[in-house]
Amino acid sequence: MNDDKFFLTYNQQMKKLRNDKHILCNGSSHKKILVRTGYFNIVNGYKNPFISGRDNNGNHCYISGTSISQLHAVKKFDDQLRSFLLRYITQIEEETRTLVGYKFDECNNNGDIPWYDINAYSPNRSLQEKMTVISKAYNELSKSQLDYVKFYMDNHKQIPTWIMIKVINFSTFIDIIRCSKMDVSHSLCNLYGLEDENGHTNVKLLIGSLHWMRKIRNSCAHNERVYCLTRKREQRGRSGRVLEKYFRMLSRGYTRDLDQRLFDLIVYFKYFLPKTEYKQFISDLKIMLTDLQLKIHPHAFEYVHTQMGIKNLSDLDTLLNIPKDEIEYNKFDKQHCFQ
């Protein structure tokens, strides 16, 4: 068995970091970090920004002067980033669910065609697709332990659309949008300005951005690392990314990179957040990044923001200053896109 698989006391862990990895770890403050976070969580989880190469035995070498405090700084940044992003994602999720529920009923004779009727969905979708999404929604509703769901099941003949939309999983909600009549997806695209290069509604961008939010939300909820969250390009050279207009207004590096990263989410937020909220979002994110920059080695900081997909911090200001129309919520009920 490899030595690092044996149980080690905290003092032995500190000695291992000093002697084997040449990471500074001395005194009660450093020991407290190990006790509170755990060796695996902080070292194995956040060592990558500080790796400078390998020695003759294939072991990692670290940037000179790297300390357990610097690894902890990256972890604290990631923890803060996780809750920060989750707050905005859940806000957007709740808002889009509300809008979809409203538009779904509106374009189905003001709710006369119930959500569990295949006629409530797009005629362009196959019967199998529609039956599958209805079945998934039913299954998730039946498993719900929420009081208001039980109340409707016990006292009413059907579950209204707004409850179904609110309760189902994020992935099922996205499938509902994809299978719904054209008015539903197009009304959201029109509200948020989700358009292609020709000014047409970009449903692919709507679906793709929501799926990336779902992926990041799940990682946040399960306490996984998020600063380096990446979706690798798919086979045959297809990335699965949706390169919309804002990406194309930045440096060419953003369109050449085929991997999806956190920066994609930052771009998508520009569509879904009102101007003042997006300005606050960018401001808070810059403060978090600047604070981290002061605490770790420059090469380690470059690794972190590059893993996030941010080529240069100034690109955040560039993105913020790209003009966009304000979201006109009051006109949402007047938006109609005929099939």
Give the integer Cα–Cα distance in Å for 15 and 141: 53
- What pLDDT shows up at residue 334? 65
| The model's pTM | 0.91
pLDDT in tens, 175-227: 999 999 999 999 999 999 999 888 889 999 999 999 999 999 999 999 999 99
Q: What angle do CA 269, 162, 215 make, to 5 degrees?
A: 35
Q: Where are the domains of the chain?
A: 3-70, 74-334
Of 94, 180, 184, the closest CA to residue 137 belongs to: 180
Q: Which two tokens stand for residue 157?
A: 């003949």
Distances (CA, A) of 235 to 56, 67, 240, 322: 35, 39, 10, 33
* Span 143-157, average pLDDT: 83
Closest-CA residue to 179 (of 144, 242, 137, 240): 137
Q: How far is CA 329 from the centre of its chain?
A: 24
Q: What is the DSSP string of 39-86?
A: HIIIIIHH-GGGEEEE-TTS-EEE-TT-BHHHHHHHHHHHHHHHHHHH
pLDDT digits (tens, 9 = 90+) for 14-73: 999 999 889 999 999 999 999 999 999 999 999 999 999 888 888 889 999 999 999 999
Predicted confidence (pLDDT) at residue 117 exceeds the cutoff of 50:
yes
d(CA 36, CA 44) in angstroms, rounded, equals 15
**How far is 84 from 169, CA to CA, in rounded Å?**
21
Which residue has 């005194």 as its token pair? 27
Locate tokens 């707050």: which residue? 87
Tokens matching residue 278:
């997006």
Single out the residue of 308, 292, 285 nearest to residue 230, CA to CA: 308
The whole-chain average pLDDT of the chain stands at 91
pLDDT for 244:
80
| pLDDT at site 50 | 97
Q: What is residue 285's predicted lDDT score, i.e. its pLDDT?
A: 98
Predicted confidence (pLDDT) at residue 157 exceeds the cutoff of 60: yes
Looking at residue 1, its pLDDT comes to 43
